[in-house]
Amino acid sequence: MLTRMDVIQDFWSSLEARDWERFGATVAADVTATWPQSRERVHGRDALIRFMAEFPGDWHLTLDEVHADDTGGATRISFTVDGETVPGVTFFGTDHGLIASIVEFWPEPYEPPPGREHLLERY
């Protein structure tokens, strides 16, 4: 029996491996994936596999942080494509041990607002 932690880690490792059979086994048939920043949504395992398989570029990912509990979990990844690496943040809801909902964010760099330099350091 796979734990939720196993399923979430398998989601990413099978995606990096382009192992669509193993990837498909981590998600429910009626999984939904949502990207709130662009207000995009994919419904269903087959559509999600196709979305991932068609994603352009020679992309690679590494899993930086993962948490999992009784209701799902969350991860931070580093996603590299065309020599550029960006962070990705993903929340997972699980149902009967499979990933049933995905909510994903791609945060972009921004300049810090003025007036808080005395409280912060830059790195």
Which residues are near a second copy by CB under 8 A? Answer: 5, 34-43, 47, 50-51, 54, 56, 65, 67-69, 71-74, 76, 87, 89, 91, 103, 105-112, 115-116, 119-123
Cα–Cα distance for residue pair 86/98, rounded to 1 Å: 27
DSSP strand pairing (72-81 vs 84-95): antiparallel
Q: Rank residues 39 and 96 by Cβ distance to a second copy and give the closer one.
A: 39
Q: How far is the CB of 19 from a second copy (least distance, A)?
A: 20
Half-sphere exposure of residue 29, counting CA atoms within 13 Å on the CB side?
Answer: 0
Q: How far is the CB of 119 from a second copy (least distance, A)?
A: 5
Q: Rank residues 60 and 106 by Cβ distance to a second copy and give the closer one.
A: 106
Rounded to the nearest 5°, which phi and psi values hold at 83?
Answer: 80, 0
Please list, in sequence order, all residues whose beta carbon lies within 8 angstroms of the beta carbon of residue 69, skipping any fewer than 6 positions away.
Answer: 4
Q: Rank residues 17 and 107 by Cβ distance to a second copy and give the closer one.
A: 107
